[in-house]
Each structure stands twice: as structure tokens, then as C-alpha cells.
Structure 1
Amino acid sequence: MFCNSLLKTNINHLVLSLSSVLLRADFACSSRCNFIFHRVSLLGISCLADTRIVDREERREDLKGEGGADVIIAKVRDGDSVDERLQSVLHDQACSAVVVSDKLVAHLLYRFKDDWKSALAVFRWAESNPEYKPLAQSYDMMVDILGKMKQMEKMRALVDEMRLTQMVTVSTIAKVMRRFAGAGQWEEAVRTFDELERFGLQKDTESMNLLLDTLCKANKVEQAREIFLELKTHILPNAHTFNIFIHGWCKIKRVDEAHWTIQEMKGHGCRPCAISYSTIIQSYCCQHVFHKVNEIIDEMQAQGCPPNVVTYTTIMCSLTNADKFDEAIKIVDRMKSAGCKPDTLFYNAFIHTLGRAGRVREAIYVFRTEMPNIGVPPNTSTYNSVIAMLCHHAQEQDALNVLKDLESSRCSKPDVQTYYPLFKLCFKTGKIGNLKKLLDDMINTHHLSLDLSTYTLLIHGLCRTNKWEWAYLLFEQMIGNDITPRYVTCRLLLDEIKQKNMYDAAEKVEDYMRKMKSKSITR
């Protein structure tokens, strides 16, 4: 709904331009509700002109300069089959004027990563240009797209094309095996490995590990084990080989096998590292078998492989999630006594734990005093944890003070997550004026774009606080930014505006919901 001239104005003139557009909006209101008046009054926050729109238009201009991506995108969807879409682009005069480049091809493939027909059509279009030869990375992207969309025969055919020009790499094979395994065709993944020599590649430790990792991530750990027993007679395993199995056994909750793999690892002359043990510890933590965690830590220390800060962070987070706050807090003393220095991520977890335990003062002390004293710098997540904690305990001003500290920090800046708890607190306290200011700062000062989760939070909160006009305005903006709302959001907004007799708005929302259903059916 925003015209190009509006997009070229700066933020300082955005409110006036947006107001004039909205006053001309094709939106008829019920005589019982002066919607346009409310709509313009809401423009006191210029954040409603999401910088995502400006960024998108700037990217479009850049791409036109680079090679006319918009021209190709607009034309390639004409047709049902790949060939029809390809012919549509090949025989279009505007498309013929486009200069093919590696950057353009990469952009188009990324743009159509979920639309294999359009992706393959633009790839063939680029390939047909006698002055251009696609990079190996572009072939790999196309292979991955076809595999992701379960077009296995076409994926294999493309790899065979690559073989003729010796463009198949280990990275290509990794993508093929992963996509076969993801489609439930793990036997084909194994067959791909068996054909490595045909592609000019070797069966070595690296390629074997890729196969084993692919199978283990697909929960085919037993099959991976059988293959390994065959291969290890002529391919030497390394520490990574066994760590793959440790992770695989833990993934399917067979931690005893993972623990036994450590012994096997030692038998092959490979030394277990903190990662090996930490993977098992994480598995026990997920199952809340914390007495086993202590046993593993003792074993690590006995083997001369003491837990690292990641190990302790994992344990603390798991204890916190299990509401074992006292035990989680004791991890700090245990780690310090072991001579392990905490880092930023550990302190983030510690602050979160203290907040969950209701020990706000201690958390603030850690944030304000302990971290600076030992030279551990906070990052954005640290500030976010403190802000979320203070908002949870309704300490609004303290939370805003921490936000100011973050804004003035040299090393960290607010992100979208920073504002979530602040928005929620605004709805809880009914201070919508604060919400407007936060949104304005978020978008116009820090140039952050509203994402799906933010839009959902705002629309739901505004509907519940009877600010349905603003909620509908955000809904329109969301759609204009090519962000698909959740169906439940549409349903909630529709119910609200129907109760206010906003018939034209309700019709627009219902029409959008019908389109959403139609798309889901065609998929």
C-alpha cells in the first residue's frame, strides 16, 4: 500500500507521507466507528513504516543494477512445468537483456529454495547463456534444492551432469547423502558413498565420516555401525568417527552404547575429549538422570579430561529447566573450585537461573559487579536475560534502565528479542504509550525489523486490549512485507473486527485466509 515515493523519503518525513497514504486508503468504515481517525492517530509512532520495506526496495534496486533479478522472478512463474517456465524466461525480451552473474544466480536460487521448478528453470536459463558457466557452488545449491523438495531422480541426474565436467566434490556428495537420508532412503545414501570412485573421489576417513554422520543424524545408528565395521578394516577411523557414534547413540537415547563407544575409542588409540563426554552428559541431563552426570564428571577428571565451561553450562541449564535451582546454582562453586573460568554464555545461564529462582538481587549483582570484576563482557543475550527477568518481576523502570545501558554499549546492541518482554509488560500494565515509544525506538533508532513472532505478539496483545484498529494496521503491514501470519492470528483479528462491525476489513481478512487455505492445499 506504500508508494515508491514514500519509500525514498527519510524516516523524519515518514509519518506525514504515511498519513497521506492512509487517508486515501481504500477502506470503508462503519458509521459506528471512525476508523480513519484512529488510524491516523496511531501514526504518532513512525515504527509502523517498518524499515524492512525500505531495505527490500533498496535490495531490489541493487539487484536490477546487478542483473535484473526482479525481471526474472516476475516471469519465471509463468507455466506449470519446468520447461514451460524456462521457455517463458528464454523468450522474454526483458529477460534476454539481463546480464547473468554468479551473484544473480545465487540470489535467484536462494529466492526459489522452496520452489524447485522455478529454481531449476532459472538455473537452466543461466546455464544456456554461452558467456556464462555456473559455479560449482551453484550446482551444489541446485542439488540441495532438488533433494530438499524430494526430487531425487532429478537430483541424481544433475549430479551425473556434474560428473561429466568433474564438478562433483565431497560437499556435493554430502548434500546428496543427507537429502537421501532425510527422504528416508538411507540405502541410496550408502549407494552414493559406494559410487565415490565413479565421481573421481576417494573412500577415506573424511568421506566415511560424512556417511556415518548422515546415517546417525537420520537415527540409523545401527546401520551406520554395521557399515563402519565393514569399512574400518581398510579405512582408519579417527576421534571424530567415534564422536559421531557417541552423538548418534545419545540421539536415540541409548546412552550406554555411547558410553561404551568411549572405551572403543580408546582401544583405537583415540583420546576422548571434553566433547565426547559432554555429549553423554547432555543426554543424561535431557533425561534428568543427574546422578549419572556426576559419575561422568568424576570419570572425566580421572582420565585427565576435566569438564570445560560448556559442560558446566549444559548442566546448569538442564538443572534449571528441571526446576532444580539450588543444585544449578551450586554448579558455579563446583566449576570455580575445578579452576574452570566462566565465560559470557555461562553467566547468561547463571543470570537466567537466578531469575527463575526469584533471586533478582543476586542476578543484578552478577551482572553489575561480578562480571566486570573478572573481565567477562556481557553480550546482547546477557542484557536480554536481565531485561526479561526484571519484566517478569514487574520491575519496569529497572528493565528500561538496562535497555538504556545496552543502547549505549559499544560492543552490544538491542535485537528483536530484547523488546519481547518489554512489549509483554506493556500489555500487562496497559501502558500502550510506552509500547509506542518502544516500537519507535526499535525500528527508527536501532533499525530492527518486525518479524513473524513480533507481529504475532503485537497483534494478539492489541486485540486483547481492545486496540483492534492498530492490530489491523499491523496486519496490513505484515502482509505488505510478505510475512505470512499464523492462521490463529487471522482468526483472532477477524473475530475482533467483526464484533466492531468492520465489514470491509473483515472481508479482506477472510479473503486472505481463503488464499492461505488454497496455498496449503496446493502444496
Structure 2
Amino acid sequence: MKKRAQEDPVFVGDRTPGEQQKCVNLESDADVNIVLDRISPGTSEDEVLQSLLSDPACDSLQITDNFVNRVLYRFKDDWKSALGAFRWAQSRPNYKPSPELYDKLVDILGKMKKMEKMRSLLDEMHADHLISLNTIAKVMRRFAGAREWKEAVRTFDELGKFGLKKNTESMNLLLDTLCKENRVQQAREIFYELKLHIPPNANTFNIFIHGWCKVNRVEEAYWTIQEMKGRGCSPCIISYSTIIKSYCQQFNFQKVYELLDEMQGEGCVPNVVTFTTIMCFLTKSGAFEEALKITERMKSIGCKPDTLFYNALIHTLGMSHRLQEATRVLKVEMPRNGVQPNTSTYNTIIAMFCHHLQEESAEEFLRDLESSPFFKPEVQSYFPLLKLAFKVGKTDEFLKKLLNDIVYKHHLSLDLSSYALLIHGLCRANKCEWAYLIFEDMVRKEITPRYKTCSVLLQEIKQKNMYEAADKIELFMKKMKAA
């Protein structure tokens, strides 16, 4: 996915198969590319180290923390190359990696579930007094992510060995790590042991509130707020808003309003994020009139809307067929209140008009977005119009213009959803030759199509007796299954 910016634009319908396009190389990491070119995929970390040590071109590179950081970023999903390149950098005279780079390598090894390697690196860091609480946080997180939560706890127990303290901050890191991996019950049991000699703070309880909500035990989250109060910690907007969001996800709006009243009774005034969440879920539930009343509730407590709230309001008005009011929000109300729209604001209103088959209005707002000096369109800005083109049967000049604007005018790369939409839509429109060219560009850009997309295209290609293309698709599908 990362390579797309460097490669040819997608075929948009006005070039013939085999035509070449100019490739613009936007890559500036020339020094990093020298290292990448010397490493063969699948080699061991020792082979990577030796290949770099024996190459004269690598000897001429200037090794800095910035350089090593960029190398590790490029190898973030390849632990052997990352470790080998790190060892090579370590071997260079007058260079010693910073503790932050060690932490980054620890994270890469943990992410790839190389726990013994991670442990070994941790011991090496300990010998050089490089371990910080940030290191421990990464180690605990990776153990928990690998379902080795007992190892995460053991790492916390060894804090003293690394010269670090068991205190509220480090306890919270452990609890947060466990809760984020849905081990809330285990975190709770550990907390009951630790709280005897480590005092909790408001963040401790907020960690549990998030954790209980994450595992859909919202009542436990609510009782955590009561426990929080009992220990002299005041719940904040985040505490309440987390639970409100969980009740919203359950469409339990009675509880939402009860909690809003409780918040205000406690002197904890809801903010615009809280109200935006409520409006979005009311709209999702189809309660449009109730959603629009949120604006008045906000005004009654002096809470001012921001861009995200207005985006949600425009969406709600669009869903309730109030297109003129939605337009007024963007053109009148937002400027009057000094709130700047963003690309998502225009995406929302473009999608709204497309949903109601008002193509000209959608294009008008797209032109406003394209000409704005403050923000630019993204692929998602065009997606509703692409869908509309297929819906109303405009699969010739209109569709070609949209795609040319995306790729050539604004230099945007189509994403997986856009490619799938195009291939499926063109197949339905009996234009599978064009669909196949788009499929080819997609594969060339290393964007893997969904299996269903391949299957749909294959059926259409066979009906057109495009045997060579069908063979290529079938081979690709076999590779997908084997992977």
C-alpha cells in the first residue's frame, strides 16, 4: 500500500492496454534505499548484518539516529531485516543508538511475536542502563497482545530489577495494557492487590471505565464511577462520555439522558464531543427529530458547536430530507459562528445530495471543495459521485471525467473500496474490458482485490471469451487461496 504514490496512475478509460505512463518517484530516502537494496527478503538477521558489513556502498553512509529511525520504519513489518540493520548500525565506529531506537526495535520484535528476541534485547538494554518506563510499556503491551498477559504482569513485577518504581504511573500502564486486550477481570484482580500499597488516581478508574465499556459491561463501568467518587476522585467529562457512548451503542437513550442529567448535577458539564456522539447515534437509530433537538440542549448550557458537530448535523438534516437546511448550515451558520468547514464537511454534503440523486448540487459542492485554498478533496469526496454514476447509468464521459480528476488533476490514489466499486459497477454495465484494465492496475499497485471481486470479474471475462485475461485472474485467485 505504501508504494502507490510512486507508481503509475490507475487506468481511467482513455488509454489503450500496454500504453506507458510517466512514473514520478516521490521517494527522498536515497540513503535508506541503499540499505534496502542490499537485503534479500527472507534472509536471517545475521545474513542481513553480514551483507551490509561487506558492502562498500554501505560503508560510505552517514549513520545517525534519524537515519536508523527511517530504516526501522521501513522494516517495521520485517523483524529480521530490522534487527540485522540495527546490529550493523551498532557496529559502526562512533555511533551508539539512542534509547528511543532500542524501544522502537523492542516494539517491532514484540509486534512480530518474537518474544525471546525481545527479552534478549531487553537484557542487553538493562546491561547498558537504557530501560525506561516507555520501554516497559511497549514490552507489556506486546506480551498482552500475544495473549501472554501473565508475562506482562511478570514484567511489571520486575520493575525494581530495571531500576524503576512500582507506583501509580507504572500500575496504570499495566492496568491499561490489560484492559485494552480485554483482560479487564484480570486487571481488576491485580488492582485489588496493588491498591493496598499503591494509591489509585482518577486515571486508574478511567482505565477501568474504558475497559468495562470495551467488553460491553457498561453497568460495571457505571459502578466504577461510583467507586471513583467514594475514593475522592472526581469523574471527568471523559469518564461520563465513555459510558454515554456505550449506552448510545446499545441505543439505550433513556440511560444516556439520565447520565447527562447526573453529569450536570455533579457540575461536570457535557462538551461538544459528548453531544456529537449522541446526535450521531440518534441519527443512526432513525430518531432524526430527537437528534436535531440536541442542538437546543447544547445551546441551553452554552456549549458551542465545532466542525465535527456541524458535520454530524449536516448528515442528520440530509437523512431527514432537509437539504436546504443542511446547505444553510454550511453556507450561513458555520461562517456566522466562526467555525471553519473541513474536507469531511464537504464529503458529507456531497454524499447527502448524491443519496437524494441531486447530481448537479453534489457537483457544485465538489467544485467548491476543489477550488478551496484551505483544504483539498480526497478519494472519499468522489466516492458518492462514482456510486451515483453507476446508479444512473453514466458510465461513459461522466465516469471518465471523475476518474481523470481523481488521478490526474488531484493526484489521488484509489483505495480498495473505490477499486471494488469500479470493477463491480463496470461489470454490471457490461464493460468488463475496462474493469479488467482497472484490475490489472490494482494488482500492479500491490492492492489485493477481494476474492469476490475477482470472482465477479472472472465470470464476466469468460462470457466475453477473454481467455488470456481469465487465465491471469484464475492464477491470481489460486495464489490468494494459497497465501
- TM-score where L is the length of structure 1: 0.85
More divergent stretch after superposition (135-144 vs 421-430): 135-144
- Alpha-carbon contact 2:12-2:438 (below 8 Å) kept: no
More divergent stretch after superposition (499-508 vs 187-196): 499-508
More divergent stretch after superposition (292-301 vs 495-504): 495-504
Q: CA deviation at 1:271?
A: 1.4
Q: CA deviation at 1:181?
A: 0.8
- Indicate the residue corresponding to 1:227 in structure 2: 190
Q: Which structure's residues are more often helix, by fraction?
A: 1
CA distance, structure 2, for counterparts of residue 192 and residue 429 of structure 1:
60
Structure 2 letter corresponding to 1:43: R
- Indicate the residue corresponding to 2:124 in structure 1: 161
CA distance, structure 2, for counterparts of residue 317 and residue 40 of structure 1:
36
CA distance, structure 2, for counterparts of residue 481 and residue 257 of structure 1:
47
Residue 237 (structure 2) aligned to one of 266, 274, 282? 274
Q: CA deviation at 1:300?
A: 0.7
- Indicate the residue corresponding to 2:350 in structure 1: 387
Q: Residues 391-423 of structure 1, C-alpha deviation per residue, up to 9 Å, x if partnerless?
A: 011100000000111122232221111111011
Does 1:420 find its partner at 2:383?
yes
CA distance, structure 2, for counterparts of residue 453 and residue 79 of structure 1:
31
Does 1:113 find its partner at 2:76?
yes
**Alpha carbons of 1:120 and 1:472: their partners in 2 closer, same or farther (altered >3 Å)?**
same
Does 1:402 find its partner at 2:368?
no
Does 1:471 find its partner at 2:443?
no
- Indicate the residue corresponding to 1:286 in structure 2: 249
More divergent stretch after superposition (98-107 vs 234-243): 98-107
Q: CA deviation at 1:98?
A: 4.4
**Alpha carbons of 1:149 and 1:131: their partners in 2 closer, same or farther (altered >3 Å)?**
same
- Indicate the residue corresponding to 2:88 in structure 1: 125
More divergent stretch after superposition (74-83 vs 469-478): 74-83
More divergent stretch after superposition (290-299 vs 194-203): 194-203
- Indicate the residue corresponding to 2:305 in structure 1: 342
- Indicate the residue corresponding to 1:318 in structure 2: 281
- Indicate the residue corresponding to 2:415 in structure 1: 451
**Alpha carbons of 1:230 and 1:293: their partners in 2 closer, same or farther (altered >3 Å)?**
same
- Which secondary structure does the structure 2 equivalent of 1:403 belong to? helix
CA distance, structure 2, for counterparts of residue 101 and residue 512 of structure 1:
42
- Indicate the residue corresponding to 2:215 in structure 1: 252
- Indicate the residue corresponding to 2:44 in structure 1: 81
Q: Residues 164-214 of structure 1, C-alpha deviation per residue, up to 9 Å, x if partnerless?
A: 122222221111111111111111111111111222222222211111111
Structure 2 letter corresponding to 1:58: L
Does 1:63 find its partner at 2:29?
yes
- Indicate the residue corresponding to 1:43 in structure 2: 15
Does 1:437 find its partner at 2:401?
yes
Q: Give the gaps of 5 or more residues in structure 2.
A: 1-5
**Alpha carbons of 1:215 and 1:320: their partners in 2 closer, same or farther (altered >3 Å)?**
same
More divergent stretch after superposition (403-412 vs 295-304): 403-412
Q: Residues 224-253 of structure 1, C-alpha deviation per residue, up to 9 Å, x if partnerless?
A: 122222222332322111111111111222
Q: Residues 255-293 of structure 1, C-alpha deviation per residue, up to 9 Å, x if partnerless?
A: 222122222222332211111111111111111111111
CA distance, structure 2, for counterparts of residue 133 and residue 466 of structure 1:
62
Q: CA deviation at 1:40?
A: 10
Structure 1 letter corresponding to 2:434: W
Q: CA RMSD in A?
A: 2.5
- Alpha-carbon contact 1:79-1:88 (below 8 Å) kept: no
Q: Give the gaps of 5 or more residues in structure 1.
A: 1-6, 9-13, 19-38
CA distance, structure 1, for counterparts of residue 125 and residue 345 of structure 2:
47
Residue 514 (structure 1) aligned to one of 465, 475, 478? 478
Structure 1 letter corresponding to 2:349: V
CA distance, structure 2, for counterparts of residue 352 and residue 513 of structure 1:
39
CA distance, structure 1, for counterparts of residue 419 and residue 95 of structure 2:
42
Does 1:145 find its partner at 2:108?
yes
**Alpha carbons of 1:101 and 1:496: their partners in 2 closer, same or farther (altered >3 Å)?**
farther
**Alpha carbons of 1:368 and 1:79: their partners in 2 closer, same or farther (altered >3 Å)?**
closer
Q: CA deviation at 1:442?
A: 2.0
**Alpha carbons of 1:306 and 1:41: their partners in 2 closer, same or farther (altered >3 Å)?**
closer
Q: Residues 43-65 of structure 1, C-alpha deviation per residue, up to 9 Å, x if partnerless?
A: 39xxx95x9x52xx230xx222x
- Which secondary structure does the structure 2 equivalent of 1:369 belong to? helix
CA distance, structure 2, for counterparts of residue 360 and residue 442 of structure 1:
26
Question: Identity rate of aligned residues, in percent?
Answer: 63
Q: Residues 137-169 of structure 1, C-alpha deviation per residue, up to 9 Å, x if partnerless?
A: 322222112111211111111111111122222
CA distance, structure 1, for counterparts of residue 120 and residue 366 of structure 2:
54
Structure 1 letter corresponding to 2:173: L
**Alpha carbons of 1:40 and 1:234: their partners in 2 closer, same or farther (altered >3 Å)?**
closer
CA distance, structure 1, for counterparts of residue 69 and residue 212 of structure 2:
37
More divergent stretch after superposition (233-242 vs 86-95): 86-95
- Indicate the residue corresponding to 1:328 in structure 2: 291
CA distance, structure 1, for counterparts of residue 476 and residue 53 of structure 2:
33
**Alpha carbons of 1:234 and 1:295: their partners in 2 closer, same or farther (altered >3 Å)?**
same
CA distance, structure 1, for counterparts of residue 100 and residue 415 of structure 2:
29
Does 1:502 find its partner at 2:466?
yes
CA distance, structure 2, for counterparts of residue 371 and residue 253 of structure 1:
36
Residue 480 (structure 1) aligned to one of 444, 458, 482? 444
CA distance, structure 1, for counterparts of residue 39 and residue 393 of structure 2:
49
CA distance, structure 2, for counterparts of residue 79 and residue 352 of structure 1:
48
Structure 1 letter corresponding to 2:430: N
CA distance, structure 2, for counterparts of residue 382 and residue 192 of structure 1:
46
More divergent stretch after superposition (215-224 vs 233-242): 233-242
**Alpha carbons of 1:336 and 1:447: their partners in 2 closer, same or farther (altered >3 Å)?**
same
- Indicate the residue corresponding to 2:142 in structure 1: 179
Q: CA deviation at 1:505?
A: 2.2
- Indicate the residue corresponding to 1:90 in structure 2: 53
- Indicate the residue corresponding to 2:224 in structure 1: 261
- TM-score where L is the length of structure 2: 0.91
Q: Residues 320-377 of structure 1, C-alpha deviation per residue, up to 9 Å, x if partnerless?
A: 1112222111111122122211111111111111222222222222222222222222
- Indicate the residue corresponding to 2:3 in structure 1: none
**Alpha carbons of 1:496 and 1:75: their partners in 2 closer, same or farther (altered >3 Å)?**
farther
CA distance, structure 1, for counterparts of residue 154 and residue 438 of structure 2:
51
CA distance, structure 1, for counterparts of residue 422 and residue 66 of structure 2:
36
- Alpha-carbon contact 1:284-1:293 (below 8 Å) kept: yes
- Alpha-carbon contact 2:426-2:435 (below 8 Å) kept: yes
CA distance, structure 1, for counterparts of residue 261 and residue 334 of structure 2:
28
More divergent stretch after superposition (148-157 vs 448-457): 448-457
Structure 2 letter corresponding to 1:248: G
- Which secondary structure does the structure 2 equivalent of 1:58 belong to? coil
Structure 1 letter corresponding to 2:415: D
CA distance, structure 2, for counterparts of residue 410 and residue 124 of structure 1:
47
CA distance, structure 2, for counterparts of residue 111 and residue 478 of structure 1:
22
